[in-house]
Amino acid sequence: MTKVSDLAKMIDHSILQPTHTDRDLEEQCLIASKYYVASVCVKPYAVRKAVKLLKGTDVKVGCVIGFPHGNSSTDVKVYEAKQACADGAKEIDMVINIGKALGGDWDYVEQEIKSVTDACHQNDAIVKVIFETDFITRTEDKIRLCEICTRAEADFVKTSTGYGFVKQPDGNFNYKGATISDVELMRKYSGPNVQVKCAGGVRTLDDLLKMRAAGATRSGATATIAILEDAKKRFGNK
């Protein structure tokens, strides 16, 4: 039996748009607390304020690191993670170095993921490693990343940032975000202690249910209200 409360605890309510103001942060944190989601996912400067806004609730504060393109050095990502934890973040979503992965520098990629993961675990935070599957498109690369994250003892592998816009030959940008096939692959090739988070394009209740069936246990979402209100209508308010 599907419970609305279980679906709510799958959702990391995303508050990452570049245009978001402090007023928007307040409004979005209110939504997160009203719907009892698992966490909010915020930008680094917003962690302290989000922690204050959500005090007294069971909604955790998560923070993105090296976001959205993963280009920061390893030292900077580790520093960002430690600072976010010091500010009160309990969950860290880090973006891998996409260029290093595409270039096959797997030692660099693994060392970076391990460094950030260790820093977070030392500060009682969990880690979600973002592959950015709109850029990391080769199956063998996704499998390699799952294996690396398993060895590094990351808590989650994650499909996308929600901002992986790929420039097309005509100058326009294309974006897919999370797909069922990627979630299934990540679940298959990650270790049993590594969970899967989907993000990007999960906008409806049916989207969320399909991702759950494919193996995701968390999902980034901005359409939290629409998803959970639909769930209440379909499954009852429990």
Catalytic positions are 93, 158, 197
Cβ proximity of 116 and 79 under 8 Å: no
Cβ proximity of 111 and 74 under 8 Å: yes
Whose CA is closest to 92, among 129, 59, 122, 118? 129
Count of positions (residues) in the chain: 238
- Give the C-alpha separation, 41 to 54, whole Å: 12
Tally of CB atoms within 10 A around 75: 10
Whose CA is closest to 196, among 167, 220, 221, 227? 220
- Give the C-alpha separation, 140 to 104, whole Å: 11
Q: Max Cα separation, the chain?
A: 50
- Give the C-alpha separation, 30 to 51, whole Å: 12
Whose CA is closest to 113, among 140, 87, 89, 131? 131
Token reading at 166: 């790929």
DSSP character string of 114-171 = HHHHHHHHHTT-EEEEE--TTT---HHHHHHHHHHHHHHT-SEEE---S--PEEPTTS
